[in-house]
Structure 1
Amino acid sequence: MYLVVGLGNIGAQYENTRHNVGFDAIDLISDKYNISVNRIKFKGVYGEGNIGGEKVILLKPSTYMNLSGESIIQAINFYKISNDNIIIIYDDVSLDVGRMRIREKGSAGGHNGIKNTILHLGSDSFPRLKIGVGQPKNDMVNHVLGKFSKDEREILNKVLEGSIEAVEVMIKSGVTEAMNKFNGFIVNASK
């Protein structure tokens, strides 16, 4: 069994912002695999289904970004899921728009949602899929809570489509294979 978590903030004012690309990815994954994410529990909204022959829980925490770990740990404890079978999808300002990166473990890199998740799990060893949202020109908060330009959104939508396949490869074939296949993934405006 796998737990696939998309990080974001609840509320209409946060829709389509850089910080909500994790929610966007979960929405696309739920559509592709016909998994309704509409059940309320674990301080979030979740759904159960199958991807690649494996039972999967899709989760969107409702705790707001900085407390994401509170939701994640509740789902982990309820389903008895090991850290190796958790996939967390979130925004990364150190990656340009058009890129994604998969890692097996690592620091929070300044991301408060991941920092809180590491705190609650007591470990930084869990797979994650980082989606590039570009570096801020000025203020970090305004950047991550800001919306993409039309051109950036077109590029991002292609990356989000790629994230569906990346999650499936992580589940079916493992993180290493997914890293080999997707860590060079780049979408340019011209493509």
Structure 2
Amino acid sequence: MNMIVGLGNPGHEYEKSKHNTGFRVVDELAAQWHVTVWQSKMNAAVASVPIDGRKILLVKPQTYMNNSGDAVGALMRWYKLAETDVYVIYDDMDLPVGKLRIRTTGSDGGHNGIKSLFANGVRDFIRFRVGIGRPLPHHDVIDHVLTPFPIELQEPYQRGIKAAAAAVEGCLELGISKGMNRFNSTKK
């Protein structure tokens, strides 16, 4: 069993924010896999889908970004999952808009959702970081992550969402090592 977690904030006001990148990738996977039934479980929206003979859980924590680890840690313990069976998708300001980076280890990078996972004993999960770029000089980081992309960046961002969904599927099929080799964005 694998658990695919998208980090984000619940509520209509955050729906299109950059910080909801993880939710959007999970929604893209749910659409591709024809998932229509979600349940509320341990402070998360959870859907179960069989893919290639194994159970996959799609998870969107409903605890707000800064407390994501509360839901993820509880679900991991409930399902008795190894940390390496958990894929976490989230936004990253250190990557250009739409760029994807998959890693098996790393720091929290200042990301409060990842800090919350660490605080809840979840450290060795697979990271799918999707670039949202840095705020303009003299602009607030919180405003940057909680607002939508301007029109001129929506296309590269959407490509990044689709690339991340394809990478998750590829890593499930090929394994993480081969998936990282195939799906990590290359430098131009």
TM-score, normalisation: structure 2:
0.94
Is this contact kept in 1: 2:98–2:161, CA < 8 A? no
| CA distance in 1 between partners of 2:50 and 2:108 (Å) | 29
SS at match of 1:50: strand
Stretch deviating more after TM superposition (20-29 or 161-170)? 161-170
Alignment CA distance shift 1:62-1:144 (3 Å)? same
**Mapped contact 1:51–1:168 kept (Cα < 8 A):** no
Q: Does the CA-based 8 Å contact 2:97-2:132 persist in structure 1? A: yes
The answer on whether the counterparts of 2:6 and 2:59 sit within 8 Å (CA) in structure 1 is yes
Q: Which runs of 4+ in 1 moved over 3 A?
A: none
Partners of 2:86 and 2:113 lie apart in 1 by 15
* Structure 2 residue identity aligned to 1:148: F
| Shift in Å, 1:68 | 0.1
User: What SS does structure 1 have at the residue aligned with 2:120?
Assistant: helix
Q: Which residue of 1 aligns with 2:142?
A: 141
Alpha-carbon distance, 1:48 to partner: 0.1
Tell me the percent identity.
37
Per-residue CA shift, 1:48-98, capped at 9, x if unaligned? 002343210000000000000000011111111100100000000000102
Residues 90-105 of structure 1: pairs in structure 2 closer than 5 A: 90-105=90-105
Equivalent in the alignment of 2:176: 175
**C-alpha RMSD over aligned residues:** 1.5
The DSSP-based 3-state class of the residue aligned with 1:27 is helix
Instruction: Tell me the distance in 1 between the aligned counterparts of 2:130 and 2:45.
Output: 21
For 2:107 and 2:154, how far apart are their aligned partners in 1?
A: 27
Distance 2:87 2:176 in 1: 10
**Runs of 5+ in structure 2 lacking a partner?**
none
Q: Mind listing any 5+ residue stretches in structure 1 that lack a counterpart?
A: none
The residue aligned with 2:128 is: 129
Q: How far did 1:108 drift?
A: 0.4
Distance 1:150 1:50 in 2: 36
Note if 1:111 corresponds to 2:108. Answer: no
User: How many matched pairs?
Assistant: 186
Alpha-carbon separation, structure 1, partners of 2:185 and 2:164: 13
